[in-house]
Amino acid sequence: MADLPLVDTHVHFHDLGHPRLRYQWLEPDAPHDPVVGPDEAIRARRYWADDFIAETRFHNVHKVVHVQAAIGTDDPVEETRWLQAFTDRLGVPDGIVGYADLTRPDAAETLARHAEFPSLRGIRDLRYDGYLTDESWLRGYALLERHGLVCCDDPLLEQFPDARRLAERVSGVTLCIDHAGYPRHRDSEYFRMWRDAMHDIAKAPNVVVKISGLGQADHRWTTGSLRPWVLECIEAFGTDRAFFGTNWPVDRLYSSYGDVVNAYADIISGFTEAERRAMFSGNAERIFRLGTEEAGT
């Protein structure tokens, strides 16, 4: 069992019965993601903060960051409002990464309404179009600095050069590469391309990596199969810009919660205690400002 407290930087809660929230990816007729695979096991009616606490209570989870899950909701601020109520009642999540369409002319207003909630720490605008070179999206992205918000992003491998240019252009915003760059294949040729892309984007000092969700393209993963991907992330970004998340409950499709956390702990067991503590908790607390109550100004 992992001996260090974990800041889990990537969890999702949902409630399919909520009158103002929509979860398109969990609806009965939603197509299966070809990388994730059949996911009926996580299409339960609800997964609240209460459920997460009950499931993870013996795994030394210190703090939690929730990442946008209510895809298709008319007003994205409603999800932040719903999550803040869990925080006020239970103390979980400690940080919230909300959603905003950064191309919209009212993006500044949406971000300001999000920022009224004290646990807001970031924004994810999950999309796979040409957003990284879209001037309207870039203007919206620059607004994140005003509120001190991290951008959690999932660029395709071929978009990494554009993501690096974005980070260098807007140096005041921290760009977090989710799911270890979301490697969609696990063959040696893809690994080399992914490794080169990760090392290149890591040259921008305001880019960080969230090591999470690695089970999505490795459904029968082992600690050994994850090891090269985890260690290469750390090699590229260093022990001060890499941290962990579980992608729970999605990655429950491939393992138990303890399996994931213990695999991370085993893989980094050769690092110093200070380095391990930084990657398990300290880096995430600093980057997502989890030791403070204020959202940003």
CATH code, 269: 3.20.20.140
Task: Give the pLDDT of residue 40.
Answer: 81
For residue 292, the model assigns a pLDDT of 58
Which residues lie closer than 8 Å to 268 by C-beta, 6 or more apart? 230, 234, 275, 276, 279
| pLDDT value at residue 43 | 85
Beta carbons of 96 and 83 less than 8 angstroms apart: yes
* Residues in Cβ contact with 258 at an 8 Å cutoff, skipping those fewer than 6 apart: 1, 58, 59
Q: Tokens 């994205």 — which residue?
A: 76
Tokens of 227: 């090891």
Residue 204, class by beta-carbon neighbours within 10 Å (0-12 exposed, 13-18 middle, 19+ buried)?
middle
Mean pLDDT for all residues in the chain: 95
Q: Is residue 293, in this structure, part of any structural domain at all?
A: no
> Mean pLDDT over residues 69-90, rounded?
98
Residue 158 lies in a domain: yes
> Poorest-confidence range of 31-45, 57-71, 126-140, 190-204?
31-45
Is residue 272 assigned to a domain? yes
pLDDT in tens, 46-63: 999 999 999 999 999 999
CA dihedral 262, 199, 181, 2 (to 10 degrees): 10
157 belongs to a structural domain: yes
- How many structural domains does the chain have? 1
Domain range enclosing 259: 6-287
Q: Taking 90 as the threshold, does the pLDDT of residue 44 lie above it?
A: no
The answer as to whether 155 is a domain residue is yes
Provide the pLDDT for residue 297.
37
pLDDT at 295 > cutoff 80:
no
292 assigned to some structural domain: no
Q: Is 81 exposed, middle or buried (0-12, 13-18, 19+ CB in 10 A)?
A: middle
Rounded distance between C-alpha atoms, residue 261 and residue 257, angstroms: 7
- Nearest one of 102, 153, 155 to 129, comparing CA atoms: 155
How would residue 239 be classed by pLDDT, with cut points 50, 70 and 90?
A: very high
Task: Judge whether residue 139 has pLDDT over 80.
Answer: yes
Kindly state whether residue 297 falls inside one of the protein's structural domains. Answer: no
How large a percentage of the chain has pLDDT more than 70?
Answer: 97
Burial-class residue 205 by CB neighbours within 10 Å (0-12, 13-18, 19+).
Answer: exposed
Confidence of residue 225 (pLDDT cuts 50, 70, 90): very high
In a domain, 34, yes or no: yes
pLDDT digits (tens, 9 = 90+) for 262-293: 999 999 999 999 999 999 999 999 999 998 55
**Contact in structure between 8 and 280 (CB atoms under 8 Å):** no
What is the mean pLDDT of the segment spanning 72-82?
98
Burial letters 216-247, b for 16+ CB under 10 A, else e: bbbeebeeeebeebbbbbbebbbbebbbbbbb
